[in-house]
Structure formats: structure tokens, C-alpha cells
Amino acid sequence: MKIKLNKTKVMKWFNHISTVLLFTILIGLLFMVIISKASGGEPKIFGYQLKTVLSGSMEPGIKTGSIIAVKPGGDMTRFKENDVITFMEEEGYLVTHRITEVVKSGEQTLYRTKGDNNDAEDLNPVLSDNVVAEYTGFTIPYVGYFIDFAQSKNGAFLLLIPGLILLGYAGFIFWRTLSEIDVSNKRGSKNEKSEASPNQT
């Protein structure tokens, strides 16, 4: 009897925890989609920008398809060796790599950079004026794929997905509750019949 009660308690705790996690994930994804759509690009939260990583040059620390939080602004000459910065390449795209050396050239500051997963340093030093932000160390693997799709023409449909999942989950909980009530009623009926039947000798 104690074992059954313990199993029941464990299952209830498991259901509660899984429900909280599911709702947290769904609300977080919905929040990110709305912010992404409202900003017309990558989401911005409390002054931090969320960037999508499109290559594996910084693996294993930053995986392809991850989102990272970067802090823009400030003195772009302040960085030192081993800091990770996001900078604009000449081709017009953003790169997030680690500083391997700080080079002072007159009044200018340049950074030699390298991806952690690359064999060699980047070909051209980065001028401090081309630095966009500093990597904060915060990353969420693979969510960048989701954000990229959210920015596409079909991304609006993502706004419906969390609502549909929540609706389906609510239906499941309702069905399970009704099933438990039905089982309890059947057990109660059996117990009443057992108590009502006379003892045979």
C-alpha cells in the first residue's frame, strides 16, 4: 500500500514539474517570436541583443544554430586578449570570435581574432570601429534555427504553435482528470457492493 502511494506521489510531482517546464518553454518561445517580429530582426532584451550563430567556428562553446547574448555599446578599445567580440566583416556580415592579440597602431586599436574551432587566426585584424558588441557568455543551443524561421515569411505561423500545443495539453489534462474520476467512482461502487453483500458461513 505504501509503495502504491509513493508511486502516486512521484507521478504527481513528475506531472507538475513537466507541466511547469512545458509552459515555461512555450511562453519563452512565444516571447522570443513576438520580440523578433516587433523589432524586425534579432530580438533585443534589456539592452542585450540576441544573435544567431550560423557557423561552427566557435564550437564546442558556441554551437551552430545557437543564439548568443551580446552587449553593444561602450568603448570598443577596452577589450583584451581572450575576450570574445562580435564585429562586422568587410563583406557586411557579423562574426563572433575570440581576441588573440591587441595591436596598437598610433591612435587606432586593432584586434587579431580567431574562432576557437579554427586552425588559424582570421586573415585581417579587426579595427575597433568595426566591433559591434561583446559576447556575454550566454548561449542557448539550436534556438537560432527557430528564430531564423520566425523571421521568414512563414514565421507568423509560429505564433499559432504554442497556443495549439497548450490547447492540446489542456485537453489531455482534462481527459486524464475525467479518467481518474471515473476510476475512483468505479472503485467506490465496488466497495459499496462488497460492504452490502452478507457474509457467508
**Architecture (CATH level 2) of domain 42-142:** Ribbon (2.10)
Comparing 38 with 74, the larger pLDDT belongs to 74
On whether the CB atoms of residues 150 and 37 are closer than 8 A, the answer is: yes
The structural domains of the chain, with segments of one domain joined by +, span 42-142
pTM: 0.61
Percent of the chain with pLDDT over 70: 65
Residue 39, C-alpha cell as written in the block: 523589432
Q: Residue 42 has what pLDDT? A: 62
Whether residue 57 lies in the annotated active site: no
Q: 71 is written with which cell numbers? A: 552587449
For the beta carbon of residue 83, count every other beta carbon within 10 angstroms. 15
Q: Which pLDDT score, from 0 to 100, does residue 144 have?
A: 79
The mean pLDDT of 64-93, rounded to a whole number, is 92
For 97-155, how does the pLDDT look when each residue is reduced to its tens digit (9 = 90+)?
999 999 998 889 999 999 999 999 999 999 999 999 999 999 989 887 777 776 666 66
| Options 18, 36, 39, 55, the catalytic residue | 55
Is residue 198 scored above 60 in pLDDT?
no
Question: pLDDT at residue 171 above 90?
Answer: no
- In the predicted structure, residue 11 carries a pLDDT above the cut 60: yes
Over the range 7-33, which residues count as b (16 or more CB within 10 Å of their CB) and which as e? eeeeeeeeeeeeeeeeeeebeebbebb
